[in-house]
Structure 1
Amino acid sequence: MTLERLNPGPRMSEAVRIGDIVFLAGQVPDDLSGDITAQTREVLANVDAVLRALGGSKADIASVQVWLSDMGDFQGMNAVWDAWVDPANPPARATCGVALARPGMRVEMVVVARARN
């Protein structure tokens, strides 16, 4: 089984593919000025873009870890998530509160999915 790296950099790759399973690096917002809904929308758009590059879609997601800097944002994140998630193919998901890497960052998501190409 081969291991393939998508957009490798000096510190990490955007995603790593082993066979037809892909592990996305933590997806974070670039614009930290927004509230939890804006940041969640941006993160989910990033997830969509990486999956598209691998020939997949949100229907191919097996698992998501959602990290929130403030669990008070849980409802706001879920409102955006619920509008985005494929209801016919919901992934396994866990959400926890953590200290994130940059001040102002409210959400990060780690995804494991199936790659199609």
Structure 2
Amino acid sequence: MTKILRLDKTERLSRIVVHNGTVYLSGLTADDKNTDTSNQTRQILETADTLLERVGADRSKLLFAQIWLRDVEDFDAMNKAWVTWLDGAEPPARATVGASFALPEIRIEIQFTASI
């Protein structure tokens, strides 16, 4: 059986799960939620870089991203931050949908899957 590594665990979730050469990140939200979607997106992407690096991955190894937006009118602002962050790396498969969040100040949440 292949070992499953779970990091940054709480009673509800593991922030990072590694299994069989694949890393799964829980949905990430911005630390400073009192800012616009573009800034929240940048914060999330910086956090993703840090978490991926902890397990030997990086944005060039992304396989999939699921993005939830509170306001789909912010799609272009989010995409601008996203493309800047990719910085020429191959883009992953991706889906973006509108969503409501438990906290009204959350404007965006992103979940990542990457190869190691």
The residue aligned with 1:97 is 98
Look up the equivalent residue of 1:50 and give its one-letter code. L
Q: What's the counterpart of residue 9 of structure 1?
A: 10
Using the size of structure 2 for normalisation, the TM-score is 0.94
Query: Where does 1:22-101 land on structure 2 (aligned, <5 Å)?
Result: 22-101=23-102
1:101 positional shift: 2.6
CA contact (8 A) 2:63 2:115 kept: yes
- C-alpha distance in 2 between matches for 1:71 and 1:47: 22
- TM superposition score normalised by structure 1: 0.94
Is contact 1:17–1:23 with CA below 8 Å preserved after alignment? yes
Task: Tell me if structure 1 keeps the 8 A contact 2:59–2:89.
Answer: no
The count of aligned residue pairs is 115
Runs of 5+ consecutive residues of structure 1 not aligned to the other structure: none
Q: Is the 8 A contact 2:16 2:24 kept in 1?
A: yes
The one-character-per-residue Cα deviations of 1:45-92 (angstroms, maximum 9, x if unpaired) are: 111111010111100110000100000110100110010114341101
Detail structure 1 runs of 4+ shifted over 3 Å in the superposition: none
For structure 2, the 5+ residue unaligned runs are none
Q: Matched residue of 1:45: which SS?
A: helix
Is the 8 Å Cα contact of residues 58 and 86 (structure 1) preserved in structure 2? no
Is the 2:63–2:92 Cα contact (8 Å) retained in structure 1?
yes
Q: Distance in 1 between matches of 2:98 and 2:70?
A: 6
Does the 8 A contact of 1:40 with 1:107 survive in 2? yes
Deviation at 1:111, TM superposition (A): 0.5
What's the C-alpha RMSD, in Å, of the aligned pairs? Answer: 1.0
How far apart in 2 are the matches of 1:101 and 1:16? 24
